[in-house]
Structure 1
Amino acid sequence: MWSRVAERPRLRDVAVCLAFLALGLVLYAADLTVIGGNSGSPFDLPRWFALVTLVTACAVQSLRSTAPGLSFALCLVVVGVDVAVAQSISVWLVLSDVAYAVALYAGRRTVHVMYATVVAITVLAVASVIAVDGSWRSVLLILLWLLALVISPIGYGRAIAEHRLAAQSERERSLAVAQLAARDRADAVADERRRLARDLHDIVAGHLSGIALQSAAALRAGPGSPITAEVLASVRSNSVEALGEMRTMIEVLGGTDTETGTGNQEQSRRTASLRRLDRLVTTARTAGSPVTVSGEAPPELPPSVDVCAYRIVAEALTNATRHAPAEPISIRLGATDTDLTVTVRNPLPAGHHPPGDGRGSHGLANMALRAESVGGDCSGAPCGDHWVVDASLPLRPERAPASPAQVVDAPGGSL
């Protein structure tokens, strides 16, 4: 019941006022209303006049949380009147609650004004007692009275206010952390989807593109040509290799391989490695494109660099056999102490105007992104009458996170 009332400030204030009014009536009935047990008032007023100041103070108290500054100012006026004519304890109790409410609900400026007012009242009360009585016991009594009924509630209210502020700050911080965690999870899922899109592009679209090109070469040669048997054998080899790579990916995604990171790279390396470059060359040759390979890669390559170089060569050969069929293709591998270089060149077909930035297709963008993933770079651009794909991959790769703007999800053609 009280929890529902506490959620509505106005009803809560009214409930508090009624509770203090009931307490004041109990004190009145027990004849404990007057401070010190006797009136001491210069005015000859009936005893029930203390109920008038009590009711007035409680009415002012009803503004304790909605307008705490106004409630405190009006309550001071009522207390001043009561001190002059009735000197009742119950009104001071109401002032104690109003001071607590100001410390808890009011703004910083209002609280500072209340501090100054309390200090002024304390100084005035002490000076008045010294001027009238001159007894240090009376001064001590006044100070204890103000400490118990005004200063202590203010301190308690400020402590609760600071605690609430700290709790609110902690809730906001927790919410911000939760939002950042959710955003990180979403980014991780998006990155994984993009990685899978690149792998599917390299595996499925790549081998299917090779099969399509080889099938076209077999159709051109005719069923009786000896080239047809060679092409069909290469098609079968490509199909088996594609199934093997798909099986490897399914094992990784299904969690059958408990290793991650380097383990996944070793899985890919079983079917994608420069040691298997001859398969790519054979596929391009059976499609009708002469291919020459010069240079060689270091015998021991990091798995991530080995897979990345293989995928780049596969994509470059696919683009070359598709856009410049039957044209000679050259592949050059080289290595320094720090980098592996891969260059693929093929003549530009007549009337073909590729994009100047080398990122006009999904395949070219994926090549660049793969190189960046190991800390290298890859570009494809026309050079004279040739199209040149040039990649430089560090032999000690440091993974660099790819920005979302660089990622291409949709698959294009790849070998």
Structure 2
Amino acid sequence: MARDVHDFVGRELTLLTVRSEVLSMRARETAYGPDFEELADTARRAHLVLNEIIVQRGERSATPGVDGLRALAEESGRAGSPVRLTMDPDVRELSPLRQAAVYRVVQECLTNAAKHAHGEPIDVSIAVDGTQLRITVGNALPARVPGRAPVSAGSGTASMAERVQSLGGTLEATRTEDAYLVVATLPRG
């Protein structure tokens, strides 16, 4: 099954990369050139990650810790959704396992915001309060516009919850008519 995923998804990512590179070349002298190049870079990175996860799964590098959050926030901002990141200094003292959980929860929340609330600011807060670690990510939801629905299987939130629960914590994702909020709480460890 992993090989099939690699072959089918890898093919689509390759086509996306090539097509966005062609568009980047055609738009080089326009204001859209950098956007298409960034799209091509994103597709290339996705293809590399796919290879790391499926093909080289035993040799895969570790998940970045909280030091990788700034880069995630900057990438989200370049894609059109600015991130306000607030992080207690004590978060850097968390174990690598908990830091990886923080990173993955924030990464998934930013991905969901890009799909469902593109352009809306995203507030990310990571706090340590005594024995508890709390990750809060929220964003407004734009008015629904008719058109294509975002590609989403809904498995990202389940995956986040599973990761947090495996560390003895809880995850709550709440959607209202105009906002989305994820709150994960887990033992500091």
When the two structures are superposed, what TM-score results if normalisation uses the length of structure 1? 0.34
Q: Which amino acid aligns with 1:370?
A: R
Cα 1:383/1:335, change in 2 over 3 Å:
farther
RMSD over aligned Cα, in angstroms?
A: 3.6
Whole-angstrom distance in 2 between the partners of 1:299 and 1:239: 30
Answer yes or no: is the 8 Å Cα contact 1:248–1:268 preserved in 2: no
Q: Which amino acid aligns with 2:86?
A: S
CA drift of 1:280 comes to: 1.6
Answer yes or no: is 1:229 the counterpart of 2:22.
no
Is the helix fraction higher in 1 or 2?
1
CA drift of 1:330 comes to: 1.2
Q: Name the counterpart of 1:247.
A: 52
CA drift of 1:231 comes to: 6.2
Is the strand fraction higher in 1 or 2?
2
Q: Which amino acid aligns with 2:48?
A: L
Match of 1:385 among 169, 172, 178: 178
Answer yes or no: is 1:362 the counterpart of 2:155.
yes
Whole-angstrom distance in 2 between the partners of 1:343 and 1:252: 30
CA drift of 1:334 comes to: 0.9
Answer yes or no: is the 8 Å Cα contact 2:91–2:126 preserved in 1: no
Whole-angstrom distance in 1 between the partners of 2:180 and 2:52: 34
Q: Name the counterpart of 1:322.
A: 115
Q: Name the counterpart of 1:375.
A: 168
SS state at 1:299 partner: helix
Q: Which amino acid aligns with 1:229?
A: P
Answer yes or no: is the 8 Å Cα contact 1:324–1:347 preserved in 2: yes
Cα 1:278/1:238, change in 2 over 3 Å:
farther
Q: Name the counterpart of 1:290.
A: 82
Q: Name the counterpart of 1:335.
A: 128
CA drift of 1:336 comes to: 1.7
CA drift of 1:251 comes to: 4.8
Structure ID, larger Rg: 1
Whole-angstrom distance in 2 between the partners of 1:277 and 1:245: 20
Answer yes or no: is the 8 Å Cα contact 1:280–1:314 preserved in 2: yes
Give the share of equivalent positions with the same residue, in percent.
Answer: 29
Q: Name the counterpart of 1:406.
A: none
Answer yes or no: is the 8 Å Cα contact 2:143–2:178 preserved in 1: no
Deviating runs (4+, > 6 A) in structure 1? none
Q: Which amino acid aligns with 2:111?
A: T
Answer yes or no: is the 8 Å Cα contact 1:375–1:394 preserved in 2: yes
Q: Name the counterpart of 2:67.
A: 275
SS state at 2:164 partner: helix
CA drift of 1:241 comes to: 7.4
Cα 1:302/1:273, change in 2 over 3 Å:
same
CA drift of 1:236 comes to: 2.4
CA drift of 1:225 comes to: 4.7
Task: Please give the residue correspondences for 1:403-414 in structure 2 after superposition, counting only pairs within 5 Å.
Answer: none
Whole-angstrom distance in 2 between the partners of 1:383 and 1:295: 25
Q: Which amino acid aligns with 1:381?
A: T
Whole-angstrom distance in 1 between the partners of 2:141 and 2:37: 28
Q: Comparing both chains, which one has the higher relative contact order based on Cα–Cα distances under 8 Å and sequence gaps of 6 or more?
A: 2
Q: Which amino acid aligns with 1:268?
A: A
Whole-angstrom distance in 1 between the partners of 2:57 and 2:103: 20
Q: Name the counterpart of 1:312.
A: 105
- Kindly tell me the number of residue pairs found equivalent between the two proteins: 166
Cα 1:302/1:320, change in 2 over 3 Å:
same
Cα 1:351/1:251, change in 2 over 3 Å:
closer
When the two structures are superposed, what TM-score results if normalisation uses the length of structure 2? 0.69
Q: Name the counterpart of 1:185.
A: none
CA drift of 1:238 comes to: 6.9
Answer yes or no: is the 8 Å Cα contact 1:339–1:395 preserved in 2: yes
